Amino acid sequence: MSVRSLCMRDAHEDEDSHAGSGSEKDIMSGSEVQEEDQQQSDDDGGGSGSCGLDSGDEDEGDTGGGSSDEGADLGALDEGTAGGSGSKSSLGYRVITAGSIKRLQQGAIDEVCAIWGCGGSIAKALLMSYMWDKERLMSDLGDKGQERVFKAAGLAVGLSAAAASTSTAAVTQTGGVMTCTVCMSAHPAAQCASNSCGHAFCCDCWQGHLAVQISEGKARHVVCMSYKCGVVCDEELVDRVIQDEPQLLAKYRQSHLESYLEDNPRVAFCPSTPWCGNAIQVESDPYVEPECPCGVSFCFKCRKEPHSPCTCKMWEMWEEKVSGDSETRNWLQANTKPCPKCSKPVEKNGGCNLVVCKCGQDEMDARMTEAARNHKRYMFYFERFKNHADSIQKEKANRAKLLARIAASEHDGVHARDFSWLVGAVDQLRTARRVLCNSYAFAYFFFGGALFAEDFTPQQNKINQDLFEDNQEMLAAEVERLSGLADRAAEGLSLDADQRFTTINSSTNVRTRCANLFSMIEADLLAKVSTLGAHIAVPRF
């Protein structure tokens, strides 16, 4: 089991052991803690389901006209914000906490049940088979028909009665006694159980079979033990057979709960270390760079750090290029030549093409010029990338100092003014700095490499590069201006109205410059390439 799975399991076991005591707060955001506390005080039952997996979710069906705290919780979920700003529709993603997983999972199950009129266990099995892709499931049910979809998912529902009756009989019934064909022992009918496929065995054999399947990590697809049957075991059957094995039942339910996160292509765990307990769910477009409430941002598509305006492929190539000693090798290849006598690298530094080794060997070399030009071009972009990357780290530290200074001034009663404009300017500066930093990696690959060489003529490529660099330079100039203004305003927590207005105006200009740069990249560059995967995440400025 993964570390995240263990964290989730421990969280739910803790919920069960305290039955509504609010232990879920440890892995919840602050707003959800307040909502959970209010919900616990208003709920009549307050009890949890088996193994802690249902705790806090008994009222999950009450989505309309219910308690105000539940409505607030669902509203917070739908907003999916990473700091209280924006909405689900504008951000394109939502934050999933450990306390909301079951509610979201149940919502998907209820939607399938409402449309197709099937039971909850069948709807869950279908969704798990389709990796929780409701749209694809609905489409296949309409196009392929219920029987084909159910059969592919390992469900007996939809199979003809004739097929079920002609299947190999697993039980021979005589009066009120059943003979289990696994252990070949007679058992009272009450001590036997049958699956939806029609195969029945004694509960002891079922229990042994389920224990093996669940222990081997097959809890999400436990199948009937009849030879070549392959039908998924009903949840009702599993609950009945292993109800006296709480740990086994908890593992079974926990695995089904985790499938909503681990098998769902629209859900990703927050990559924070240690894991904060949150996950991110996107609406449809995977090319987004969500920010978790814990402060960590990442590219949802490739699960790496935010890298827009670079594509995921560009960023992968850039990371490979700047990591390790690859550029050291490139420099040696560009600026040195192995001596044909002693094989040691000899640097050519100015002068004519005569290269002389200290061992006395000389040679003519004119083949290093192309590699040297390529390396010089790389260093041009890398140095600017590195400078802005270093500035990002400094501004991150400056932001923490600013927040501490504001908190101290409010505590001392020195200032009663709102400094959200200054914090907003610092946040805007950090976002723009990251965009500017990554834009140099984008330019390195787009305008000089072979990645998009076939999409533009050299003349058009030069026009595109000039247009891109104009937007890039305007953004860089405004970023440096905002950086200076923010530093001066933060130094003494200035209350000067003119300085406040100038800083806000510069922050707005930076936002506009960022939007213009992305608009140019999308409309004039990426929209005209034929390369697959040339998609980027566009931040919400």
Mean pLDDT is lowest, of 70-84, 103-117, 389-403, for 70-84
For the segment 79-95, the average pLDDT, to the nearest whole number, is 53
From the number of C-beta atoms within 10 Å of its C-beta (0-12, 13-18, 19+), residue 42 rates as middle
Catalytic residue numbers? 352
Tell me the per-residue pLDDT of 266-307, one tens digit each, with 9 for 90 and over.
898 898 888 888 899 988 788 999 999 988 999 999 999 999
Q: How confident is the model at residue 375 (pLDDT cuts 50, 70, 90)?
A: confident
DSSP, collapsed to helix, strand or coil, labels residue 267 as strand
Give residue 9's pLDDT band: very low, low, confident or very high (50, 70, 90).
very low
Strand locations in 213-365 (E): 267-269, 279-282, 336-338, 345-347, 354-356, 362-364
Closest Cα to residue 212, out of 184, 248, 244, 181? Answer: 248
- Residue 47 has phi, psi (to 5 degrees) of -85, 165
Q: Classify strands 192-194 and 200-202 as parallel, antiparallel or unpaired.
A: antiparallel
pLDDT higher than threshold 80 for residue 11 = no
Q: Are 167 and 229 in contact (CB under 8 A)?
A: yes
Mean pLDDT taken over the chain: 75
CA gap 44, 33 in Å, rounded: 19
Where is average pLDDT lowest: 172-181, 359-368, 402-411, 485-494?
Answer: 359-368
Q: What is the mean pLDDT of residues 74-87?
A: 35
- Residue holding tokens 């005589």? 174
Rounded to the nearest 10 degrees, the angle between the axes of helix 101-116 and helix 120-129 is 110
33 Cβ neighbours under 8 A, 6+ residues apart: 22, 24, 25
Q: Are 11 and 85 in contact (CB under 8 A)?
A: no
User: What distance in Å separates the CA atoms of residue 47 and residue 62, rounded to the nearest whole number?
Assistant: 17
With beta carbons less than 8 A apart as the criterion, state whether 75 and 89 touch. no
pLDDT (0 to 100) of residue 41:
39
Residues 105, 106, 109, 110, Cα dihedral to 10° = -150
Do residues 45 and 58 touch, judged by C-beta distance below 8 A? yes
Q: Which residue has the higher pLDDT, 305 or 540?
A: 305
Pick the closest to residue 506 from 425, 434, 443 (CA basis). Answer: 425
- Kindly report, residue by residue over 148-170, the tens digit of the pLDDT: 888 888 887 544 333 443 333 44
In a 10 Å sphere around its CB, with 0-12 CB exposed, 13-18 middle and 19+ buried, how is residue 307 labelled? Answer: buried
Residue 520 has pLDDT above 70, yes or no: yes
**Rounded mean pLDDT, 120-147:** 86
CA dist., res. 228 & res. 482, Å (int)? 69
% of residues, the chain, pLDDT over 70: 69
Neighbours of 44 (CB within 10 A): 7
Q: Quick check: 478 pLDDT over 90?
A: yes
pLDDT for 74 = 30
Residues counted in the chain: 541
- In angstroms, the CA 541 to CA 522 distance is 15
**What mean pLDDT do residues 96-117 have?**
86
Summarize the confidence of residues 87-102 as an average pLDDT: 75
In the predicted model, is pLDDT for residue 370 greater than 50? yes
Residue 192 pairs in a beta bridge with 202
**What percent of the chain has a predicted confidence (pLDDT) above 90?**
22
Confidence band for 471, pLDDT divided at 50, 70 and 90: very high
3-state SS class at 201? strand
Distance CA 270, CA 248 (A): 28
| Token pair 């000389």 in the structure block, residue | 362
Tens of pLDDT along 24-55? 333 333 333 333 344 433 443 333 333 333 33
198-241 residue pLDDT tens: 888 999 899 999 999 998 888 888 888 888 888 888 888 898 89
19 by DSSP, 3-state: which?
coil
Nearest to 298 by CA among 309, 290, 287, 286: 290
